[in-house]
Amino acid sequence: MSVLIVGSTALDSIKTPKAENPRLLGGSASHAAVAASFFAPVRLVGVVGEDFPRRYVKLYQRHGIDLEGLQFAAGRTFHWSGEYEVDMNRRRTLATELGVFERFSPDLPAAYRDTPYVLLANIAPALQHHVLDQMRRPRFVMADTMDLWLNTALDDLLRLLKRIDCLVLNDSEARQLTGEDNVIVAARRIRRMGPRYVIVKKGEHGSLLCGPEGWFLCPAWPLEKLVDPTGAGDSFAGALMGTLAAGRGSPERALRRGMLYGAVVASFCCEGFGLKRTDRLTREEIDARFEQLRAMARV
């Protein structure tokens, strides 16, 4: 089955202590879509401007991503520029030029409205609502978010929580959303706000799932060579949704496998700038690391 992915499609200029890479393909939807494409057919909804390089369109196409929902608008592509510190867990935004993204309205092609799996990657909650308004009874909806929306669009986000099956967010966002320092308690509280499942991402410390069947504690790949963490969370969510769409078994079991696949693709993402490493990935590499990671967590 297919996955619909809606989010930002951007150009990222990324500085780390070791290198500088201008105008890489980035954005939540780009990372999620490429990650999901290893597992299931992907439909992408986003917007790019006239400066969007042709080679990035080809990159999407190389991964078999359906681009009927990708809007080409007059103006410049959303451009984010950021810098990572020596401690790569800390980054600061140098510039955010919204460009055509400022007036983005995620209007779905008719063919997309029946997609069974929907990933609302990180965009404004109002746009996430707009996508759901156009869908016909999707089977599983997962939404990502960020601290910006907790600060500026909390009401929209709280309403969204009642319309989705799963919220994925990072630990600091879970704390901010609930005002609760303990992430375990925070995850339980978010479940009471609506979604059947809550996934808290903890970066190098893995992720955890809180659902009706209890907890799943998902490890992270022990990464020795962190090049650029940009897009790791989006890759995690994309791979997870891709495996669900391709999946078998109970939802709980599928989510566990999906999170482990998400951890694997996210780890590859961190091994290169932007989408460079993910773009070269093969399903064989993913499956091999999946089995290794599973073995590392086995008691």
In this chain, which of 33, 208, 227, 269 binds a copy of itself, going by CB under 8 A?
208
CA pair distance 27, 230, nearest whole angstrom:
9
Binding of a copy of itself at residue 223 (CB under 8 A)?
yes
296 binds a copy of itself (CB under 8 A): yes
What Rg value do the Cα atoms of the chain yield, rounded? Answer: 18
- Judged by DSSP in three states, 144 sits in strand
Phi, psi of 215, rounded to the nearest 5 degrees: -100, 150
Residue 193 binds a copy of itself (CB under 8 A)? no
Measured CA angle at 47 (ends 108, 96), to 5 deg:
140
| Partners of residue 101 on adjacent β-strands | none
Q: For the window 84-123, what string marks contact with a copy of itself as x by the rule CB under 8 A?
A: --xx------------------------------------
Task: Kindly state the number of chain residues that form the binding site for a copy of itself, as judged by CB under 8 A.
Answer: 31
Residue 119, C-beta contacts closer than 8 angstroms, at least 6 positions apart: 3, 4, 5, 6, 7, 32, 36, 142, 143, 144, 237, 238, 241
User: CB of residue 255 vs a copy of itself: minimum separation in angstroms?
Assistant: 10
- Considering only 260, 264, 265, 275, the residue that binds a copy of itself (CB under 8 A) is 260
Question: Does residue 159 touch a copy of itself according to CB under 8 A?
Answer: no
Closest to a copy of itself by CB, 68 or 85: 85
Contact call for residue 297 and a copy of itself (CB under 8 A): yes
Helix 28-36 with 251-270: angle, nearest 10 deg? 120
User: Site residues (CB under 8 A) for a copy of itself?
Assistant: 86-87, 181-182, 184-185, 188, 202, 205-206, 208, 214-220, 222-224, 226, 256-257, 260, 293-294, 296-299
